[in-house]
Structure 1
């Protein structure tokens, strides 16, 4: 039996297989091009319709859109206020409020807003361009729309919260005998919450802040002690109140706890 027909048959099959391989490769390549075209030019616009929105919270961390870290227990306004608003924030006033007058602050409200503003963040500075002998522009120290119909209510909430959060505030000078004395006097009391001490002469806005505080408190010099938002008086007055234990009563009535660390451990 001759093998020639078998050999011819194999050669014929090999010649037929080559066109089939080329055809399959071409079809696969065309399919890949079609799929790529669909992904990049057809499906992509529909994906862009629903991007994942990110937001940045007050601490600068990114979070998912719709999260509200302030929703928990609705923290008081001072946790989100008292920083200089940016130019962008100042421009985002709703059209309905543009023609409304700004909320007016009396001296006690102005003192609360200024005190909370400078105590909240070290970088919060009173602009040097203001005239400390005149009422301050509320928008400089309040981070909300001061033309809003609810602005007056917001101010009242701020006043209440500021003095409950900072029942004792000291405005002192870093290297000053009376300032050292008053800081030592208050330190011995071990207050809770701790007193807030602002070393005014170390601040960039000292030339504006000092006369501003003098106007709002009728004080003539530093150190200045505020208890429950009320100025106590001169250093001589503070000494007398301390010696008669009246100073302790004022501080307690303002909401601070004397020997707070010891009582907290005992509790």
Structure 2
């Protein structure tokens, strides 16, 4: 039955309003995705791809695993197959990444995120060379990577520390050179290393 007069006009206006509202929210959603991916790709990736079951420690291990195992690859948070944030297609893939990154604490219990030109990074590396630890520290020279800023931002997010060096002991940041030097002078550093099953040959 054909609607005539005011009823037809009301139906037309209602349909128009629905289309306008739907279109408005669609545009807002698309713009939010676009602005997220262009202005802050790391935030965009975390928002849409990050597995919320991962702990901060898991993410930090993943960052170490990626930067040390794939030196020729740069972090792109929009890539769906990065181990550091555990992008994956299935739950099984995520479990495989967990197994690999959780071995980091055994393979490299001490990690030094360093910059080659930073004098404090140099002193930190010299201190651990003097201690002659086994395993030896894993040194990641962040300034030699193309994704320096992303790595720095992720370290800041995960450890609360945005300066270098950033020294990790079993996936926990113990600070920079000044912090580690103080721990060394007080004798606490040797205790922490030995408690972490790290052999210290030096003094």
Normalising by the residue count of structure 1, what TM-score does the alignment of the two structures yield? 0.51
User: So what's the TM-score if we normalise by structure 2?
Assistant: 0.66
**Distance between the aligned counterparts of 2:55 and 2:82, measured in 1?**
15
Gaps of 5+ in 2: 1-48
Spell out the pairing of 1:80-229 with structure 2 (5 A cutoff).
103-104=51-52, 105-127=54-76, 130=77, 139-141=81-83, 146-151=88-93, 153-229=95-171
Change (3 A) 1:163 1:138: farther
Secondary structure at the counterpart of residue 139 of structure 1: coil
Residue 137 to residue 114, structure 1, CA distance change in 2 (3 Å) = farther
Offset at residue 107 of structure 1 (A) = 1.6
Structure 1 142/228 Cα, relative in aligned 2: closer, same or farther at 3 Å? closer
The number of aligned residues is: 153
* Higher alpha-carbon Rg: 1
Contact 1:174 1:201 in 2 (8 A): yes
- Contact 2:142-2:148 within 8 A present in 1 as well: yes
Decide whether the 8 Å contact of 1:172 with 1:199 is kept in 2: yes
- 1:220 is paired with a residue of what secondary structure? coil
* Cα distance, 1:151–1:122 mapped onto 2, change above 3 Å: closer
Q: Root-mean-square deviation (CA), in Å?
A: 2.6
